[in-house]
């Protein structure tokens, strides 16, 4: 397993083509805007070497028997699924941010079963190829960018119906040695911190959409790949040179996202994991989505722990920690946070073995997990803002604090509890601002699919027929009523 330093070194070797704010970036590794997001990923390496956390952070490869980083591991039992959630909560607690590496992990886990099933049913070699790829990822301890979400164009139209046929990533050519693909994937969290881009289809395809039923992996600096970094609220504060105003200077808040563009990129056959088998795309998507929705019961509750801690701390700094309404609001935050965690755990403990040996979460409970994450973090954010007060949005800058002329007024007048340095209070206010007014809220909603996507899955797995029978039995209604009364 790599160390954090080795990881960063390996990133520096990539020749990524990256734009931000209308300019090409030399290397994202040493760019202040993206630095915090690398620190978050690097922590997934650091903690894997920490004996205190090795139980959560590492696993034994089912392919090689080697000890590997859990982010490259395929769950072989329910316990692996549970540890996945607990690892994510741990990292959420340590970073207060998105650490980005789980999307690639879920792509690998999904491919492990889908390629197996493809091979079983169609006699293809995808599973074999994938296992070779997986061994490489585990051995090199790589970060993968799991790229699913296409840009989609007009949502009413299927891929092959779009005015511009490139709105979903597609195969534009099949060659002897591989395929050529074109299109773009949106919202790619942590793309610049990844060694590989693992591409997946984004929805259930029909026959007409065959060319869009494609999955593969390529290095993130492959020829023809272009990254454009998306803007986040207050993103340029990281470029200002200070520390306090960023809120969470080390880890930022939510990684970064890029729009990844594939300009006729070549993929050799040994990295192609699906190529036109559209009838498998639906289960591919649902499976990936369920694994990824499971995660939100981990990472978001870890981040929630930080927000609860920040709310409790700022209450002290403001002098209101004993007010009954403040205690009640903190209790509510804890309650909501633990409810999300409970859902993440339950869908994991209730996991089942797939034919490939990979364990699958309970999809109904995994979707309920994420559905709660589209709601509760908003209420938690609202409560944290309530407790912290208006300064979250009106506080002078770090530079004002340090200015020789006005700094003393900032020191004097932003003091809360007289025993707490003003700077501490300012730092905590900024941490809260960072967490409640940023990309994290959007991620709670749309990460791993929109709220509506979960609702559709929940209804599909609800087994209404059984429930209807239960109610009819208790109401004294025979199952096959004769309609003539």
Site for a copy of itself in 294-323 (CB under 8 A): 305-310, 312-313, 318-320, 322-323
Find the part of the chain contacting a copy of itself (CB under 8 A) among 45-53, 126-134, 204-212, 450-458: 450-458
Q: How far is the CB of 66 from a copy of itself (least distance, A)?
A: 29
- Structure-block tokens of residue 89: 């909560």
Give the chain's radius of gyration (CA, Å).
24
Q: Which of residues 14-73 bind a copy of itself (CB under 8 A)?
A: 19-24
CA distance linking residue 442 with residue 254, whole number of Å: 10
- 291 is known as an active-site residue: no
Q: How far is the CB of 167 from a copy of itself (least distance, A)?
A: 7
For 48-73, letters b (16+ CB in 10 Å) and e give: beeeebeebbbbebbbeeeebbbbbb
> Any contact of residue 122 with a copy of itself (CB under 8 A)?
no
Q: How far is the CB of 453 from a copy of itself (least distance, A)?
A: 11
Contact characters 67-106, a copy of itself, x per CB under 8 A: ---------------x----------xxxx----------
> Which H helix or E strand runs over 400?
helix 398-402
CA distance linking residue 160 with residue 278, whole number of Å: 13
The sign of the CA dihedral 298, 299, 302, 308 is: negative
Of residues 443, 460, 422, 437, the one with CA closest to residue 296: 443
Find the part of the chain contacting a copy of itself (CB under 8 A) among 192-200, 214-222, 270-278, 444-452: 444-452
Q: How many CB atoms lie within 10 A of CB 479?
A: 8
Place of tokens 């981040």: 303
Q: Which of residues 369-428 bind a copy of itself (CB under 8 A)?
A: 369, 371-372, 374-375, 378-379, 382, 385-386, 389-397, 399-400, 402-403, 405-406, 409-424, 427-428
# chain residues binding a copy of itself, by CB under 8 A: 162
240 within 8 A of 33, measured Cβ to Cβ: no
Catalytic residue selected from 44, 292, 343, 457: 292
Distance of CA 405 to the CA centre of its chain: 44
- 62 is known as an active-site residue: no
Judged by CB, which is closer to a copy of itself: 16, or 428? 428
Catalytic residue selected from 72, 98, 313, 317: 98
- 240 is known as an active-site residue: no
Judged by CB, which is closer to a copy of itself: 96, or 104? 96
Q: Which of residues 216-275 bind a copy of itself (CB under 8 A)?
A: 226, 228-237, 243-245, 247-251, 254, 257, 259, 261
> Which H helix or E strand runs over 18?
strand 18-20
Q: Which of residues 177-206 bind a copy of itself (CB under 8 A)?
A: 184, 186-187
- 443 is known as an active-site residue: yes
> Which H helix or E strand runs over 40?
helix 35-46
CA distance linking residue 468 with residue 447, whole number of Å: 33
Q: Which of residues 148-167 bind a copy of itself (CB under 8 A)?
A: 149, 151-157, 162-164, 166-167
Catalytic residue selected from 34, 95, 102, 313: 102
Phi, psi (rounded to 5 degrees) for 234: 60, 25
Place of tokens 């492990």: 112
Catalytic (active-site) positions? 98, 102, 189, 257, 292, 296, 299, 443
């Amino acid at each position: 397993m790599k160390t954090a330093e080795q990881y960063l070194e390996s990133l520096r070797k990539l020749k990524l083509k990256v734009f931000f704010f209308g300019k090409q970036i030399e290397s994202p590794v040493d760019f202040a805007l993206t630095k915090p997001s690398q620190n978050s990923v690097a922590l997934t390496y650091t903690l894997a070497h920490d004996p205190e956390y090795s139980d959560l952070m590492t696993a034994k490869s089912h392919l090689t028997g080697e000890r590997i980083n859990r982010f490259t591991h395929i769950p072989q039992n329910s316990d692996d699924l549970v540890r996945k959630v607990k690892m994510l909560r741990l990292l959420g607690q340590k970073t207060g941010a998105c650490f980005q590496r789980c999307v690639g992990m879920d792509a690998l886990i999904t491919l492990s079963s889908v390629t197996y099933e493809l091979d079983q049913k169609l006699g293809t070699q995808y599973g074999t190829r994938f296992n070779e790829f997986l061994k490489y990822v585990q051995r090199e301890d790589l970060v993968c960018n799991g790229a699913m979400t296409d840009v989609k164009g007009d949502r009413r139209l299927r891929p092959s119906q779009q005015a511009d046929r490139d709105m979903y990533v597609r195969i534009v050519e099949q060659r002897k040695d591989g395929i050529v693909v074109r299109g773009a994937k949106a919202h790619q969290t942590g793309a610049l911190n990844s060694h590989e881009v693992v591409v997946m289809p984004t929805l259930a395809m029909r026959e007409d959409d065959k060319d869009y039923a494609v999955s593969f992996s390529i290095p993130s600096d492959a020829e023809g790949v272009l990254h454009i970094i998306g803007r986040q609220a207050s993103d340029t504060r990281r470029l200002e040179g200070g520390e306090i105003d960023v809120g969470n200077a080390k880890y930022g808040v939510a990684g970064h996202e890029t729009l990844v563009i594939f300009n006729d990129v070549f993929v050799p056959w040994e990295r192609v994991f699906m190529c036109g088998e559209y009838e498998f795309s639906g289960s591919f998507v649902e499976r990936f989505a369920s694994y990824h929705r499971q995660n939100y019961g981990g990472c978001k509750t870890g981040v929630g722990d930080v927000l609860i801690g920040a709310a409790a701390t700022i209450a002290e700094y403001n002098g209101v920690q004993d007010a009954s309404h403040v205690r009640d609001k903190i209790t509510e935050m804890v309650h909501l946070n633990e409810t999300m965690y409970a859902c993440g755990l339950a869908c994991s403990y209730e996991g089942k073995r797939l034919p490939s040996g990979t364990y699958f979460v309970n999809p109904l409970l995994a979707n309920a997990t994420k559905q709660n994450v589209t709601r509760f973090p908003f209420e938690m954010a609202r409560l944290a803002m309530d407790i912290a007060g208006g300064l979250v949005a009106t506080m002078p800058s770090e530079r004002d604090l340090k200015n020789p002329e006005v700094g003393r007024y900032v020191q004097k007048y932003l003091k809360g509890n007289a025993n707490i340095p003003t700077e501490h209070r300012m730092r905590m206010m900024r941490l809260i601002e960072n967490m409640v007014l940023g990309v994290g809220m959007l991620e709670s909603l749309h990460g791993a699919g929109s709220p509506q996507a979960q609702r559709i899955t929940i209804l599909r797995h609800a087994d209404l027929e059984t429930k209807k029978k239960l109610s009819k039995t208790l109401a004294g209604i025979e199952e096959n009523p004769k309609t003539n009364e």
